Structure 1
Amino acid sequence: MQKSLVIVESPAKAKTINQYLGCQYIVKSSIGHVRDLLAKKNKKKTNKSIKKCQNSASNADEINCLMKTIGINPYKNWQAEYHILPEKEKIISELKTISNQVDYIYLATDLDREGEAIAWHLKEVIGGDASKFKRVVFNEITKKSIKKAFQNVSDINIPRVQAQQARRFMDRIVGYMISPLLWKKIARGLSAGRVQSVAVRIISEREHVIKNFIPKEYWKCNVSLFLKKDINVIMDLTHYKNKKFDVFKKCELDSFAETIKKSEFVVKSREDKILHITAPTPFITSTLQQSSSIILGFSVKKTMFLAQKLYEKGYITYMRTDSTYLSKHAIKKVRLYIKKHYGDNYLPKMANKYANSQYSQEAHEAIRPSDVEIEYINTNNVNLEAQKLYTLIRKQFIASQMSSAIYKSITIVVTADQFKLQKNEKVIIFQGWKKVIKKEKQETSRCLSLNIGNILNLEKIIFIQKFTKPLARFNEASLVRELEKKGIGRPSTYSSITSKIQERGYVKIKEKQLYAEKMGEILTTRLQKNFSNLLDYNFTANMEKKLDEIADNKIKWTDVLDAFFKDFSKRLEQAKKAPEEGGMELNFVVMTSIQCSSCCKKMGIKNAMTGVFLSCSGYDAPLQDRCKQTINLIPLNDIHHSKNNSVKNIHQCNECKMAMDSYLINHKLKIHVCINNPSCIGYKLEEGNFDSPSYLSAIVKCEKCQNYMILKNGRFGKFFICMTKQCKNTRKVLANGEISEPKLEPINFPQLLCKESDAWFVLREGISGIFFAANTFPKSRETRSPFIYELDKFKNLLPEKIRYLASAPKVDNKGNNTIVCFNRKTKQYYIGSKKNGKLTNWSAMFLEKKWCIINKIK
């Protein structure tokens, strides 16, 4: 019997596929990419190498040095030097051994370009007889789909591999060649991304609009009318003297009110319409991310992680797609399901079909359940959050093939002297697809009783104060929608775009809204000036189209890269020049009148990756006279973020008339800095008595060495750090302004051995409370919750603050072992129990110095 090797990307996927293939197949996982342009061990030295290259004696030396560093050579037909990733050497060795023992090798990596590239890399590193390698793709991991895939094997699609390489090479050129320039001109630690920088631009431009927006007060008027005592309707006052009713001054309201009270209210017209609301499209990657964010509150990254797990376990189709196409088999099954569970009225005569967007790249299916009959998935395979996402996908799929929802739309117009009032109302007649996604109650319309000629009586006049609002800030979901609308990025890249711009510190997320950080705004401004094409929306969208054309074998991939690199190189050389010669502008310090408390020199406004702060001008003095004094600036947005003020006091820069960012220096001094800083030198100081967060005046002592701790800004927020250099102990400032409790020092438990390795456990404390982790972390990443009987056995090792946990019940009322649990919202420990590796509904809490059982197992 012939033996075959099947290689997939993830172990979970391998496990699922192994269930459907016979014993003649050996299924192994590559665990993602197996090689890259640079080995991991060299990455730490890469930036230093590039900086050294840029300081080379000649241009030729610089090019040769640079190409050796980043692994590609634009001047030799884009030759690439790939290295097997160090952590994948063992995997590759195993795959090579097995490949020599089999007749065929099936490369069953994901069906997108990234998966195609991984398949090609696997073929290259395994080597041997090329005829043994076959490409297998499937949209869902089901027995039927896999069987069909193995009956329709193909070769690796080289144009798709080249499209992935073209994207990879461009991103690498931009990232690695611009970064050293940014370090030199702006600040250390900066980097640029071909697509990520465009996303930062989108957020930064919205930030500028919001900061410069001045709210204006206006008033709306509602009038409560009634026909009979039990029928009253609240109508909007829309027009006065045939002009839109807008009142901007409160003093005008009284005169309007008096005129309205004297008027007779007559129903002038009534219009009834039947509206058909068509079913929603099945999910594609972007709409799944948006709906998951809005309905479930999941981040884009979390959504894709959970979707990946669902796909690997065989519950849904492939989750990276921009196509709304559904297979005939899937449509047939869902139509049978709708007919059976909802009836013929909910089933349209013909299956609903949906058009793809203009930027749609792949001919894959939309995201749908593999089997619509499966309502609840096995929670032993995935967690509760994955179940919620699965339910969302399944309901959207079912609804997409259901009948339209039918509404009756009623528009009533009432006239009163020179006033016009209007009421719009929708009444559900037939739920259709909304029966699955959004069940709506059958409500009686108050407008149904009103007819032309009816005279209504005045009950009361309601004036509502409103303020004009700027455009809303982006959240992750709306950013993805904006990227998709502009044709920037693809389904496989949305998640990495949203996460990378946050990880790099250019954007922060607060209450699910994306805020551009100051360094993100500066970076956007500089790149727009010197690399305008990189941040141009049309250029980025057109480049995505060119990558699609490469994948379709319509254009040559090296031609696209040559044209890109030629223009990029010119712009890079220009940007390296001095600012007065048209080069990139420096991130210079704007000096203020504030004196340094240490040396009395002037302090300046400085922008860095850690935020905006005041730095002593003596920092650049000779070493013996150098002063490193700094003052933290606390953005007022961080202090008053939760306060919903309708009208804000916008300070305007005297230099350029733009809005200013406001910062608190201390409880008696504020500084307002032009949003164009450092390009604009405008700033204002404001004295007074201001509310300040408690941490600003807090005196914090280090629990390790008892020395004082000082407040600092970091890429991940504010924190206190011990003044003793040898100590380096830190305490976070939490989102609510409180200073975090001292962290528990790791406690060794050599008696408790790990299951997955020869390591033993260490008790650590994280954001989710205490937990056991392998002492060899990160080599072994085994973690688990402590059992109460373990803590009781070694309670002499526990510090005082958690010793009470050892006195908790060791078993529940059914004899199951109890474990430590933690509520992240209340920051409190409680006790749960486990049966067969799963949590039960039993729990106990420590109340009034004793353990109280909250829930019992029935």
Structure 2
Amino acid sequence: MKNLVIVESPAKAKTIKKFLGSDYEVVASKGHIRDLPKTTFGIKIDNNKFIPEYKISSDHSDIVKNIKNLAKSATNIYLATDEDREGEAIAYHIAIAIGKDPKKLPRIVFHEITKDAILNAVSNPRNLDMNSVDAQQTRRLLDRIVGYKLSPLLNQKIRKGLSAGRVQSAALKIVVDKEREIKAFKPVEYHSIEAIFKKDLDSELIKFKAQKIEKLSIKTEKEAIEIVEAIKKEEFKVKDIEKKQRKTNPNPPFMTSTLQQAASSNLNFSPKKTMILAQSLYEGVNSNHGGLITYMRTDSLNLSKEAVLKARELIEQNFGDKYLPKSPVSYTTKNKSAQEAHEAIRPTDINYTPQLAHKELPKDEAKLYELIYNRFLACQMTPSISEIQSVFISGQKSEFKISGRVVLFDGFYKVYGDLDKDKIIPNFEIGDEIILQKISSKQNFTEPPARYSEASLIKKLESLGIGRPSTYAPTISLLTARNYVEIEKKQIVPTEISFTIIELLENHFKNIVDSEFTSKMEEKLDQIAENKANWQEILSEFYYPFMDEIAQGKTSIKSQKTTQLIGEKCPDCGGDLVKRSGKFGEFVACLNFPKCKYSRNLNQTQQKEKKEPTKIGIKCPKCNDGDIVERFSKRGKFYGCSNYPKCNFISNLEPTNEPCTNCNESNLMKKELKSGTFLECPKCKFKKQID
């Protein structure tokens, strides 16, 4: 007779088994073993009561059978799934699936997979938290209602293969709104003045004619040139010197969102990859020391007293008293919706250093562990102190500012070892004469708003209260998998179909894409978990108004499907062939569908005929003999020399005959951007807008 411990992950089971010994059998459920059916709605509604119709999935039937057999002869059965709402729900479904009363089975929880934590959890079991189960169940039913009732409407009105989701659609609107801002943006030209004084000191023009110069105040090249010529005639002296001390505090330890953001910025990891690696570190998959970090799905900044005490001992031993604050540093999150049910993400053993991790773990795991370790250690160290230097150089009409910095004490940066180098300004006295070495003006254009990266979108979702730590990465992965967004150079770019979907949802289902509504729904789920709200009432409040909107949408929303004839007959039935849109893009199909099932890839129809090179009336800038011609390749249009292969000139931009007035070394090239058409110099990058 053995004690049976049931977890979700086989890797987790293997690590825990090491600590419990031969009296315990540890088995994994491999995630959710019961869920709503895939092919039907799966929710029975009777007298305003929502009854989920859970099924054991076919790929889990053997797992359930095995756990049942082990449970028959077990002395005790411990539910040891993760300590969050989803883990609580998984534990509940495991108990139901094996025919046990969920309220009677001991529930054990631990925030880290270490021997002490596991043994302590087994010695102190608790009851299953049914409020958390209800909250997770409500989330699941809400998502099923939205997905199962709204997605068919999108398929009917726009095209097949589309889906909508409660969190996914709100996140997609944020991305689409940003793209709308970018498309509506109109660049404004402005000029900046750059000067270098003796000793190669870069400076910034802050005043001219006793008027402060704002970023957009020098609007024309003529005005900039006049200012430059006037400044060249001036003599300069040191007008004032300012020195200020600045204290920089360390960042708090990681929670899920900030870990994903830092891993994206510092390690170039996607949120999905970060969470996979963090899961492996938590479970101790590749370590002989058990779990290496605490639970990685958390919105808490709390730290255990024991962990902080050990960190302080190591800081004092390795770095000295001056790097150790007088008392432990504590942090609280600014996010009002944070549950703070766990600790922040930290190493389970401060003596397991990044150096050891790099010897034992796979490369990417070691990198992520080092990021977590250093952040935790640094958060318990003293601030860094810098001296910010400002020297003001004054002429007759102008004033420049030279900035510098000196690190007086590195503080927590000692852990990272990557503090920026000092930018030291030479010693000056007020009244010292200083010689201007070089001055020039530079043409600039205001930039459109930046698109979201995966990291910045997670930060936005968190700030708006959309989703929870466990949903950030899956939401972005889902948008990418559905081809609603693409990741281009770390930027999230919505596809064309996303604008159509969001416009329809904005006009007919405002709540689904409203960030405030989605955030308030998360708060209601929190209230259910805290036993402050009834989950059946929350579902009713959402379901009936939503279904009224669905019913109205079926009649009031006009179909956006278009039938575009391609001028060919179907080889199977003789009907007209049309271009259609599907989940994976456009294709050709028979107009007599579904009677005729003929279809083919659009590329088979749209193979472009080879075009003869077209002269554009410009001589080749490289050989000055051949003509520039327009050519085409698989990647699109480009420009080359007619004397190829004797002359190998090639450009993606269209050459012009207009010389660059800034450097006089090259002709300008035409550049098409979303914000307009520009002429740009390939040498000095001078740019001007032409429409």
Tell me if both proteins adopt one fold, taking TM over 0.5 as the criterion: yes
Alignment correspondent of 2:306: 329
Measure, in 2, the Cα distance between the counterparts of 1:602 and 1:454.
86
Alignment correspondent of 1:361: 339
Q: How does 1:43-54 map to 2 (within 5 A)?
A: 43=38, 46=39
- Whether the aligned pair in 2 keeps the contact of 1:174 and 1:192 (CA below 8 Å) is yes
Alignment correspondent of 1:243: 212
Correspondence 1:586 to 2:586: no
Among 292, 296, 316, the alignment partner of 2:263 is 292
- Report the AA paired with residue 261 of structure 1: K
Change (3 A) 1:695 1:268: closer
Change (3 A) 1:297 1:78: same
- Report the AA paired with residue 185 of structure 2: F
Alignment correspondent of 2:322: 345
Change (3 A) 1:437 1:586: farther
Change (3 A) 1:443 1:622: closer
Change (3 A) 1:470 1:97: same
Q: How does 1:169-318 map to 2 (within 5 A)?
A: 169-226=141-198, 231-241=199-209, 242-245=211-214, 246-313=217-284, 314-318=291-295
**SS at 1:443's partner residue?**
coil
**Structure 1 unmatched ranges of 5 or more:** 47-67, 578-582, 635-663, 670-687, 698-858
- Whether the aligned pair in 1 keeps the contact of 2:161 and 2:583 (CA below 8 Å) is yes
Measure, in 2, the Cα distance between the counterparts of 1:452 and 1:445.
17
TM-score, with structure 1 as normaliser:
0.66
Change (3 A) 1:502 1:235: same
Change (3 A) 1:117 1:354: same
Deviations 1:796-852 (CA, angstroms, capped at 9, x unpaired):
xxxxxxxxxxxxxxxxxxxxxxxxxxxxxxxxxxxxxxxxxxxxxxxxxxxxxxxxx
Which is further off, 420-429 or 487-496? Answer: 420-429
Change (3 A) 1:250 1:629: same
Measure, in 2, the Cα distance between the counterparts of 1:417 and 1:358.
54
Change (3 A) 1:345 1:239: same
Change (3 A) 1:124 1:344: same
- Report the AA paired with residue 148 of structure 1: N
Among 355, 372, 378, the alignment partner of 1:393 is 372
Measure, in 2, the Cα distance between the counterparts of 1:668 and 1:435.
64
- Whether the aligned pair in 2 keeps the contact of 1:519 and 1:609 (CA below 8 Å) is no
TM-score, with structure 2 as normaliser:
0.82
- Report the AA paired with residue 125 of structure 1: A
Alignment correspondent of 1:709: none
- Whether the aligned pair in 2 keeps the contact of 1:632 and 1:665 (CA below 8 Å) is no
In the TM superposition, what is the alpha-carbon distance from 1:409 to its structure 2 partner? Answer: 0.9
Change (3 A) 1:337 1:174: same
- Whether the aligned pair in 2 keeps the contact of 1:280 and 1:400 (CA below 8 Å) is yes
- Whether the aligned pair in 1 keeps the contact of 2:566 and 2:578 (CA below 8 Å) is no
In the TM superposition, what is the alpha-carbon distance from 1:392 to its structure 2 partner? Answer: 0.8
Correspondence 1:37 to 2:36: yes
Bigger RCO of structures 1 and 2 (CA < 8 A, at least 6 apart): 2
Correspondence 1:443 to 2:422: yes
- Report the AA paired with residue 244 of structure 1: I
Measure, in 1, the Cα distance between the counterparts of 2:430 and 2:7.
69
Change (3 A) 1:85 1:269: same
Measure, in 2, the Cα distance between the counterparts of 1:666 and 1:427.
63
In the TM superposition, what is the alpha-carbon distance from 1:8 to its structure 2 partner? Answer: 0.7
In the TM superposition, what is the alpha-carbon distance from 1:450 to its structure 2 partner? Answer: 2.4
Measure, in 2, the Cα distance between the counterparts of 1:538 and 1:187.
28
Alignment correspondent of 1:5: 4
Deviations 1:611-662 (CA, angstroms, capped at 9, x unpaired):
479x89x9579989x998967999xxxxxxxxxxxxxxxxxxxxxxxxxxxx
Among 342, 345, 348, the alignment partner of 1:370 is 348
Measure, in 1, the Cα distance between the counterparts of 2:600 and 2:23.
69
- Whether the aligned pair in 1 keeps the contact of 2:568 and 2:576 (CA below 8 Å) is no
In the TM superposition, what is the alpha-carbon distance from 1:183 to its structure 2 partner? Answer: 1.0
Change (3 A) 1:307 1:172: same
In the TM superposition, what is the alpha-carbon distance from 1:162 to its structure 2 partner? Answer: 0.5
**SS at 1:368's partner residue?**
coil
- Report the AA paired with residue 434 of structure 2: L
Measure, in 2, the Cα distance between the counterparts of 1:183 and 1:90.
36
In the TM superposition, what is the alpha-carbon distance from 1:163 to its structure 2 partner? Answer: 0.5
Correspondence 1:158 to 2:130: yes
Alignment correspondent of 1:433: 412
- Whether the aligned pair in 2 keeps the contact of 1:74 and 1:565 (CA below 8 Å) is no
- Whether the aligned pair in 2 keeps the contact of 1:6 and 1:25 (CA below 8 Å) is yes
**SS at 2:510's partner residue?**
coil
Deviations 1:167-216 (CA, angstroms, capped at 9, x unpaired):
00000000011111111110000010100111111111111222232323
- Report the AA paired with residue 586 of structure 1: S
- Report the AA paired with residue 276 of structure 1: K
Correspondence 1:537 to 2:505: no
Among 82, 85, 93, the alignment partner of 2:57 is 85
- Report the AA paired with residue 445 of structure 2: F
- Whether the aligned pair in 1 keeps the contact of 2:248 and 2:383 (CA below 8 Å) is yes
Alignment correspondent of 1:846: none
In the TM superposition, what is the alpha-carbon distance from 1:502 to its structure 2 partner? Answer: 0.4
Alignment correspondent of 1:20: 19
Alignment correspondent of 2:91: 119
Measure, in 2, the Cα distance between the counterparts of 1:170 and 1:622.
34
Alignment correspondent of 2:634: 694
